[in-house]
Structure 1
């Protein structure tokens, strides 16, 4: 069984995910539309509780986006879901690692 991801590791992954989104207009556009943010207030929002979990929610909401991000970092896509749960403070669900 793999060790549970630390909160700082989950934060770092979410920051990487935000950078991944911001690198391409076609990736950041839908995220901004979903959140109601614009580029001018994105940086301020990044300091808000729950923002980094929302970034990972967005990445995980699209299989193609999730797989592209995971492939880009050469990691298992399940790590993204685990990081989102960690940032949101969610307890593991049935069959998930504690």
Structure 2
């Protein structure tokens, strides 16, 4: 069994990073707040045409390897479209 990665905060408290796993495209509004917030540039926007012919945008994971597990994208998301997962050591 693998151990979950656990680090410490500046104050010495235990902290487990949880990395972006998936974005629920049915929930995503395409507002782009998460994309602007991510300093690691893990996220981007993709456009598509919906059933009514309207151009829409949704967030997508473009560079998962850059994710540091801060979960800021999920915290700013008003629709709670993000899921996260801890990484094993």
TM-score (norm 1): 0.30
- Give the strand-richer structure, 1 or 2: 2
TM-score (norm 2): 0.32
The structure whose residues are more often helix, as a share, is 1
